[in-house]
Amino acid sequence: MDRMVSLCKRRGFVFPSSEIYGGLGSTWDYGPLGAELKRNIKDIWWAAMVHQRDDIEGLDAAILMHPRVWETSGHLDHFTDPLVDCKTCKARFREDELDSARCPRKPSKTPKECGGELTDARQFNLMFKTFMGPVEDDSAVIYMRPETAQGIYVNFLNVMGPARQKIPFGIAQIGKAFRNEITPGNFIFRTREFEQMEMQFFVKPGEDGRWFEYWREQRWQWYLDIGIREEKIRWHEHGPGELAHYARAAYDIEYEFPFGWKELEGVHNRTDFDLSRHAEATGKDLSVFDDENKKKFIPFIIETSAGCDRTLLTVLVDAYAEEEVRGDTRVVMRFHPRLAPYKVAVFPLVNRDGMPDIAGRIAADLRRHFKVFYDDKGAVGRRYRRQDEIGTPFAITVDSDTLTDQTVTLRDRDTMAQIRVPSDALVAALHERLHI
- Provide the binding-site residues for ligand GAP, judged by CB under 6 A: 147, 149, 179, 181, 190-191, 194, 196, 198, 263-266, 303, 305-307, 309-310
Other C-beta atoms within 10 Å of 396: how many?
A: 23
> Taking the CB of residue 159, how many other CB atoms lie within 10 A of it?
18
| C-beta of residue 202 within 8 angstroms of C-beta of residue 301 | yes
CB of 246 to ligand GAP, least distance (A): 9
The partner residues of 249 in beta bridges, in order of sequence, read 269
φ and ψ of 161, to 5 deg: -65, -65
Host H or E run for residue 268 = strand 260-271
Beta strands in 336-415 (DSSP E): 344-348, 372-374, 394-398, 407-412
CB nearer to ligand GAP: pick between 198 and 399:
198
Residue nearest to ligand GAP (CB): 307
Q: How far is the CB of 27 from ligand GAP (least distance, A)?
A: 11
What is d(CA 119, CA 88) in angstroms, rounded to the nearest whole number?
10
Least Cβ distance, residue 190 to ligand GAP (angstroms):
4
Least Å distance, CB 280 to ligand GAP, is 20
Q: E strand or H helix at 130, and its extent? A: strand 129-131
Identify which of residues 178 and 347 has a Cβ nearer to ligand GAP in the complex: 178
Cα dihedral across residues 86, 91, 92, 95: positive or negative: negative
Query: Sign (positive/negative) of CA torsion 233, 239, 245, 247?
Result: positive
- How far apart are CB 179 and ligand GAP at their closest, in Å? 5
Taking the complex as a whole, the smallest distance from the CB of residue 23 to ligand GAP amounts, in Å, to 17
Choose between 237 and 357: whose C-beta lies nearer to ligand GAP.
237
Q: Collect all residues with Cβ–Cβ distance below 8 Å to 19 and sequence separation of at least 6.
A: 29
Pick between residue 244 and residue 436 the one whose CB is nearest to ligand GAP: 244
Amino acid letter, 374: Y
Which C-beta is closer to ligand GAP: that of 253 or that of 345? 253
Of the pair 191, 397, the CB lying nearest ligand GAP is at: 191
CA dihedral of residues 230, 232, 238, 244 (deg, nearest 10): -100
Q: For residues 43 and 153, give the distance between their C-alpha atoms in angstroms, rounded to a whole number.
A: 23
CA dist 373 and 392 (Å) reads 9
Taking the least distance from each CB to ligand GAP, the nearer of 105 and 245 is 245
Q: Which of 59, 11, 19 minimizes the C-alpha distance to 36?
A: 11
Q: How far is the CB of 100 from ligand GAP (least distance, A)?
A: 17
Residue 224 Cα distances to 27, 36, 38, 253, 256, angstroms:
29, 20, 17, 12, 14
> Based on CB atoms, which residue is closest to ligand GAP, 309 or 375?
309
247 vs 429, which CB is nearer to ligand GAP?
247
Question: Minimal distance in Å, beta carbon 398 to ligand GAP?
Answer: 43
Smallest gap, in angstroms, from Cβ of residue 309 to ligand GAP?
Answer: 5
